[in-house]
A and B are shown apart, each in its own frame.
Chain A
Amino acid sequence: NAGVTQTPKFQVLKTGQSMTLQCAQDMNHNSMYWYRQDPGMGLRLIYYSASEGTTDKGEVPNGYNVSRLNKREFSLRLESAAPSQTSVYFCASRIITGNTIYFGEGSWLTVV
C-alpha cells in the first residue's frame, strides 16, 4: 500500500545547483501538492495541481517550478538552489471531493 511516494529522501546541494524532487501517488487522486516545512513556520504551500495538466502557485512559489507529468506524478524543480531553500519538502494528494489530504514521508534538502 504505497500511497504517496517521494524521492529522494535526503539530498545535499551546492548553491546554484539544480535538482528535481519526484512524487507519485497510486490512489487515483486528482489533486497534488508540494509543501515545505520550516521550524516555526509550519507547512507552506509551494504549488498545487488540481488535475492533470493544471498547476497553480501557492504561498511561496518563488525559486520553484512544477510539472504534473500525468495523473500519478507531480515533480518539483529547483533551478538554482539557494540556502533559503534548505527545508523539508512534502508531497501530498487528495481526492478532490474527499477533502482528506495524504502526505508522503518527506524529502530533507540541504543547500550549502
Chain B
Amino acid sequence: GNSVTQMEGPVTLSEEAFLTINCTYTATGYPSLFWYVQYPGEGLQLLLKATKADDKGSNKGFEATYRKETTSFHLEKGSVQVSDSAVYFCALGFRRDDKIIFGKGTRLHILP
C-alpha cells in the first residue's frame, strides 16, 4: 500500500542552523508530494509541493526535491529561525484518488 515515513522528532536546532527533515514514501504509481506545517494551536497549512520527479518545491526558504530513484522528498532550509518551530508533515496524494496520506509528523524546536 501507499505510505509515508518521516524522521521521528523532536528535532532541536539552534537559530541559523541548517535543517533537514527526512521523508521517504512507498507508492504505486506517481504521486504528488507535499510538506505541510502546523504551528501551535493551528491547523495544517501547505508549505510546498512537487507533482513530478525532479521537481523542486520551495517556499519561505524551505526546499524539497522529488527524488523518484530514492523515493524521497526531504525538507531542507539553510538557516532556521525561532519562528520555524512547528510540526512538519510529509504527505502524498494521487489525482485519481481522494485520499491524502500523511506521515506522523516531525516536531521542530529552534532555540534562540
Contacts and interface: CB of A to CB of B under 8 A. Distances in A.
Contact of A31 (B46, B98, B102): B98
B43 A42 contact: no
Question: Interface size bucket, A side?
Answer: 20 to 34
Contacts of A92: 44
Interface in A3-58: 4, 31, 33, 35, 40-43, 45, 48, 50, 56, 58
A15 to B, nearest CB: 26
A97 interface: yes
A100 B43 contact: no
A105 B44 CA distance: 8
Interface of A: 4, 31, 33, 35, 40-43, 45, 48, 50, 56, 58, 90, 92, 94, 96-97, 99-106
